[in-house]
Structure 1
Amino acid sequence: MRILLADDHFLVLDGLEVLLSTFDFVEETKSVLDYVGLKKMLEKEKFDVLFLDIHFGKHDGREIIREIKQMMPDMKIIALTSQSDAATIKSSVNAGFDGYLLKIDGRDDIERALKAVTNNEKYFSAKTQQVFFETQTAKNKVELTEREKEILQLIVQEKTTREIAEQLCLSEKTIETHRGNIMLKMDTRNIAGMVKKAIMDGLVNL
């Protein structure tokens, strides 16, 4: 396997070259410090895998990956970056990276990533997956006020708007306003959908 490293930090490149030299399936490793050097290298040599920093000098790896893939369509490209926020991970996946590693990831992750992408599989390190999963979970979690939870519970119990208003000593208009806010937060279009989602997401007691 021939590997190309694209990063604008000498220490990162040196460290990676030493680490990759310990893999018996890696034939050769070369490195470049800027996008001009990267293009020149790809014009004259063929590589199996490219490790590309998301913030590669003045260039954004997500913006230049399409041009790189046009130059070397069979080469796999793995993001190797310190950017661990979910937005960057998601945008990199959408841009076309075959894998995503953090610079704090260990040797085992790098080895697994290389074997996965060359087997036409996507690879995202455990730390990357954890960040993305936690963000998605937080994104999907419905945050209701105590009053909204109370009203939702009564709706699930098939109480009418009038009955809920009387029980909570509120006006029917106020109950309708709360119900609209609950539906908006839960991204549902009707009472049936709201009740179903409330039960599935464990937002009420049955």
Structure 2
Amino acid sequence: MKILLADDHFLVLDGLEVLLSTLPFVESTTRALDYFSLREQLEKETFDLLLLDIHFGKHDGREIIHEIKELNSKMKIIALTSHSDSVTIKSSISAGFDGYLLKIDGREEIERALKAVLNDQRYISTKTQQFFFDSQIGRNKIELTEREKEILQLIVHEKTTREIADILNLSEKTIETHRGNIMLKLEVHNIAGMVKKAIMQGLVHL
């Protein structure tokens, strides 16, 4: 099995390469630190599986997955992330990921995931399922990621999408994705409703 690792953190890539080298069915691993190198690798070589960080530098894995599949439609893609909130999990699976792993998952979990997706089975790690279950039990409690809190705070202070993207050094598309996820979590349908509920819930400071 030839695996491509896409993450913008050297330590994560180093750890994955060491771990995957202990699996007898893994033939080789190749790393991509940014979207440009990811596309470059996919254009010159065929891989069986891609482990893709959902928040890959300035890019959102849920937005680029279709472009990736156009380059290699047979390659399986597993989301690799530190995000365990239900919105991210559901949106990632809906986007077309074949599996979902957390960066805290261990060797045995990763091995099961690789084998499952290569056998055309969708795989969601045990810890991910537990986090999802727990979030549904406590679904009335609104939990935002640190990035979502940053963006929400800037929206409340009347910053435009372009201004927020410049401040956080992210793409406008990524900001829009985060904004959509915030709306889902707050159960609102527009910016005015989002700002109102954020203030009422004490999620931002004025």
Same fold (TM over 0.5): yes
1:81 aligns with 2:81: yes
- The Cα shift of 1:131 comes to 1.4
1:136 positional shift: 3.0
CA distance in 2, matches of 1:121, 1:26: 18
Q: Deviations over 1:151-194 (max 9, x none)?
A: xxxxxxxxxxxxxxxxxxxxxxxxxxxxxxxxxxxxxxxxxxxx
Please state whether the residue corresponding to 1:30 is helix, strand or coil: strand
Q: Which has the larger radius of gyration?
A: 1
Shift of 1:139: 4.6
Distance 1:11 1:138 in 2: 33
Q: 1 CA distance for matches of 2:139 and 2:7?
A: 32
Q: What is residue 98 of structure 1 aligned with on the other side?
A: 98
Which runs of 5 or more structure 2 residues have no equivalent in the other structure? 141-206
The corresponding residue for 1:67 is: 67
Using the aligned pairs only, state the percent identity: 71
Scaled by the length of structure 2, the TM-score of the pair is 0.66
Distance 2:136 2:12 in 1: 30
- Number of equivalenced pairs: 140
CA distance in 2, matches of 1:59, 1:92: 14
TM-superposed CA distance for 1:134, in Å, is 2.4
For residue 137 of structure 1, report the CA deviation from its aligned partner: 3.9
Q: Measure the CA separation in 2 of the matches of 1:55 and 1:86.
A: 16
CA distance in 2 between partners of 1:53 and 1:43 (Å): 19
Matches within 5 A, 1:1-206: 1-139=1-139
* 1:41 partner amino acid: Q
* Root-mean-square deviation over aligned CA pairs: 1.2
Distance 2:47 2:14 in 1: 18
Mark the runs of 5 or more structure 1 residues left unpaired by the alignment: 141-206
